[in-house]
A and B are shown apart, each in its own frame.
Chain A
């Protein structure tokens, strides 16, 4: 069982994480292993403090290091949790779904409840450039008469 140790600086929500390898380890299972939440005891000297992410090729998965415990001075125990986003990214991308929010593919004219509106309204007046109505003595008296 080959284990690649990584330092991950990407947030969980990122699928294709930026990983920096920090070490390798190998060994065998002594008991039944949970593929989704495996626990490994490794030589502490081979696991740097910066290791927070693990890749296990045999399992075909990537894992977060959720807990790190020193069993002895030389043995470190890593509790792992599968990162489904990165582990199955290629298969995920082959699917399609109903997207309701997207960074680049969006409809700006769909109502967006996540953007708040301030209570104060901005007021603007736009006048028409001309008016036919005049004041003063230009006004006309219109008188309709019979027999004019």
Chain B
């Protein structure tokens, strides 16, 4: 098997001609790249150094199987796994092992072109690092490029690489940093999560205030509660069937109308809206924040914050939103009131941080649900206590007994004389003073016969409802003073090595070492160097 170490434009690589190589796993591989920066254990474990931008690869994800992805917008080196013949698309290995892509060197994802370039002499002797066996080259110490990445400066002072930051991370030195794009369109659409139809187990009602009033009116009448309690033996707190009740500041999309039903018991003649969905996606539109001076003063002395309904004021980075179109969207879970804001930044200005990219650099969370407390008065407990009290006093119970209240309505006191049975009746009063007889003890017992109050939910701060319902940016700018003709007089900032012959106007130097100064003596050269570093010079 022919093997070459080569130095490509993108770094060092190992190229193996494995066209005829059939591995023990039965898979034939093509030429492939491997990285010399990581130890190659075997063909089952392979790290590659750099990825061909724009290439499409077949990868094997250990969990989900093979898939094809494109680079570089979605690729994440730390999480992607590659098949053993990553550079040949269309193959679907069944191997369970996986590889970690770090980076892939070269312009050809198959490695084939690189191999041909080696064979036809396109690579010079200086580019071919070794030929032959990788193991032999490694054992003899000929793999120079296998050393740890050289982070020390080049010994050649004129080597332009000294002007660039060094390190393992490949730094994009252009002013237009092509960042990884967090594309808002790649986010899941919450409205597409589908039906939340749980077959009658849980139902989400959407009610107008008028409908809510209808429900409330029926909620505390005898008929509905009677039916409910008849259905559920021992049910003492029907409000527990109401999981939550909130108000939201908009109208969620409804599915239709139906009769209000709770616990399978219909509330006749009360129609309310309902929905099978849970999430809403909303758009606030976009705002462009432009520079005023077109200088660093737009950034270094400007602070920007954003007000978001139901969240408050949050700081944002001026670098990110300045000179950019900011689109604000939110996703709302109206079952809970949770809201997630997404700020989507798009910029076509070459000086901006997010040039040519659309990204979602910010997200904030809040809650726009206003809880509505629910409660009712239940006299059941009071009746039971009274019965118990009567028995404890040894007082007679009217023939026929005292019916237990089954209705949810507040009892209406009705005084009757004598002993008479009180039939169990829904909604009817049932406590008759006479039935318990007069007596001091009875009076004392009466004080213990108080209805209980059952509540569901509570009252929480919903201050967002008292605040602006529109989102906005707050921009605070320091105002610079640019005197007339300032650039001619004192120049503007620069920090670069420049040929003086190409300059006109005021020039000030941070450093200069003059040479080939003709007739000038040392004192004059020193004076000139000092003058251009202190007073400057107008060319």
**Which residue on chain A has the smallest CB distance to residue B210?**
A137
For residue A106, which residues in chain B have a CB less than 8 angstroms away from its CB? Answer: 487, 491-494
Q: For the complex, what is the distance from the CA of A139 to the CA of B518, rounded to whole Å?
A: 85
Given A13-B538, A92-B514, A128-B286: A137 and B208 interface contact (C-beta under 8 Å): yes
Residue in A61, A95, A112, A142 whose beta carbon sits within 8 Å of that of B369 in the complex: A142
Q: Which of A90-148 contact B (CB under 8 A)?
A: 90-112, 114-118, 120-135, 137-148
Q: Is B528 an interface residue (CB 8 A)?
A: yes
Among A94, A95, A123, residue most surrounded by chain B Cβ atoms (within 10 Å): A95
Q: For the complex, what is the distance from the CA of A123 to the CA of B523, rounded to whole Å?
A: 54
Selecting from B45-53, B437-445, B505-513, the interface stretch reads B505-513
Given A133-B249, A141-B209: A92 and B491 interface contact (C-beta under 8 Å): no
**Which residue on chain A has the smallest CB distance to residue B287?**
A126
Distance between A132 CB and nearest chain B CB, rounded to angstroms: 4
Interface size on B, residues (CB 8 A): 117
Residue in B206, B263, B532, B539 whose beta carbon sits within 8 Å of that of A141 in the complex: B206
**Which residue on chain B has the smallest CB distance to residue A61?**
B519
Q: For the complex, what is the distance from the CA of A140 to the CA of B536, rounded to whole Å?
A: 70
| Complex contact A144–B242 (CB within 8 A) | yes
| Complex contact B245–A141 (CB within 8 A) | yes
Q: For the complex, what is the distance from the CA of A92 to the CA of B507, rounded to whole Å?
A: 12
For residue A126, which residues in chain B have a CB less than 8 angstroms away from its CB? Answer: 287, 289, 472-473, 475
List of 8 A-B pairs having minimum Cβ-Cβ separation, nearest first:
A148-B203, A103-B505, A97-B512, A101-B491, A106-B492, A132-B282, A110-B493, A101-B508
| Complex contact A102–B503 (CB within 8 A) | yes
Q: For the complex, what is the distance from the CA of A101 to the CA of B497, rounded to whole Å?
A: 11
Seen from chain A, the residues whose Cβ lies within 8 Å of a Cβ on chain B are 11-16, 35-36, 60-61, 82, 84-85, 87-88, 90-112, 114-118, 120-135, 137-148
| Complex contact B263–A146 (CB within 8 A) | yes
Q: For the complex, what is the distance from the CA of A93 to the CA of B283, rounded to whole Å?
A: 58
Q: Is B504 an interface residue (CB 8 A)?
A: yes
Q: Mark B218-251, 1 if CB is under 8 A from A, else 0.
A: 0000000000000000000000011111111111
Q: For the complex, what is the distance from the CA of A11 to the CA of B515, rounded to whole Å?
A: 25
For residue B286, which residues in chain A have a CB less than 8 angstroms away from its CB? Answer: 128-129
Q: For the complex, what is the distance from the CA of A126 to the CA of B368, rounded to whole Å?
A: 23
Given A96-B500, A105-B498, A107-B494: A84 and B531 interface contact (C-beta under 8 Å): yes
| Complex contact A101–B309 (CB within 8 A) | no
| Complex contact B492–A118 (CB within 8 A) | no
Given A132-B284, A145-B243: A60 and B519 interface contact (C-beta under 8 Å): yes
Residue in A61, A94, A131 whose beta carbon sits within 8 Å of that of B284 in the complex: A131
| Complex contact B296–A148 (CB within 8 A) | no
Given A99-B496, A103-B488, A141-B245: A91 and B510 interface contact (C-beta under 8 Å): no
For residue A15, which residues in chain B have a CB less than 8 angstroms away from its CB? Answer: 537-539
Given A99-B503, A115-B480, A148-B274: A142 and B205 interface contact (C-beta under 8 Å): yes
Write 20 A-B pairs (CB below 8 A) sorted by A numbering.
A85-B531, A88-B528, A94-B501, A95-B512, A98-B498, A100-B508, A104-B505, A105-B503, A108-B295, A110-B494, A124-B477, A132-B330, A139-B249, A142-B244, A143-B245, A144-B202, A145-B261, A146-B242, A147-B241, A148-B274
**Which residue on chain A has the smallest CB distance to residue B265?**
A147
Q: Is B459 an interface residue (CB 8 A)?
A: no
Selecting from B297-305, B354-362, B375-383, B427-435, the interface stretch reads B297-305
Q: For the complex, what is the distance from the CA of A114 to the CA of B202, rounded to whole Å?
A: 67
Distance between B374 CB and nearest chain A CB, rounded to angstroms: 9
| Complex contact A96–B497 (CB within 8 A) | yes
For residue B477, which residues in chain A have a CB less than 8 angstroms away from its CB? Answer: 121-124
Q: For the complex, what is the distance from the CA of A12 to the CA of B506, rounded to whole Å?
A: 12
Q: Is B495 an interface residue (CB 8 A)?
A: yes
| Complex contact A109–B372 (CB within 8 A) | no
| Complex contact A112–B524 (CB within 8 A) | no
Distance between B476 CB and nearest chain A CB, rounded to angstroms: 5
Q: For the complex, what is the distance from the CA of A94 to the CA of B471, rounded to whole Å?
A: 57
Q: For the complex, what is the distance from the CA of A98 to the CA of B497, rounded to whole Å?
A: 4
Distance between A99 CB and nearest chain B CB, rounded to angstroms: 5
| Complex contact B241–A145 (CB within 8 A) | yes
Q: Is B186 an interface residue (CB 8 A)?
A: no
| Complex contact B509–A140 (CB within 8 A) | no
Q: For the complex, what is the distance from the CA of A29 to the CA of B509, rounded to whole Å?
A: 38
| Complex contact A99–B472 (CB within 8 A) | no
| Complex contact B494–A105 (CB within 8 A) | yes
Residue in A36, A99, A123 whose beta carbon sits within 8 Å of that of B509 in the complex: A99
Residue in B299, B480, B498 whose beta carbon sits within 8 Å of that of A109 in the complex: B299
Distance between B309 CB and nearest chain A CB, rounded to angstroms: 6
| Complex contact A133–B334 (CB within 8 A) | no
Distance between B465 CB and nearest chain A CB, rounded to angstroms: 8
Q: For the complex, what is the distance from the CA of A139 to the CA of B247, rounded to whole Å?
A: 7
Q: Is B1 an interface residue (CB 8 A)?
A: no
Among A36, A84, A114, residue most surrounded by chain B Cβ atoms (within 10 Å): A84
| Complex contact A142–B481 (CB within 8 A) | no
For residue B181, which residues in chain A have a CB less than 8 angstroms away from its CB? Answer: none
**Which residue on chain B has the smallest CB distance to residue A16?**
B539
| Complex contact A140–B247 (CB within 8 A) | yes
With A36-B521, A104-B503, A130-B285 given, name 13 new contacts (CB 8 A): A60-B518, A95-B514, A96-B512, A97-B510, A97-B532, A107-B494, A128-B328, A134-B469, A139-B249, A140-B207, A144-B245, A147-B200, A148-B205
Q: For the complex, what is the distance from the CA of A9 to the CA of B475, rounded to whole Å?
A: 47
Q: For the complex, what is the distance from the CA of A85 to the CA of B474, rounded to whole Å?
A: 50
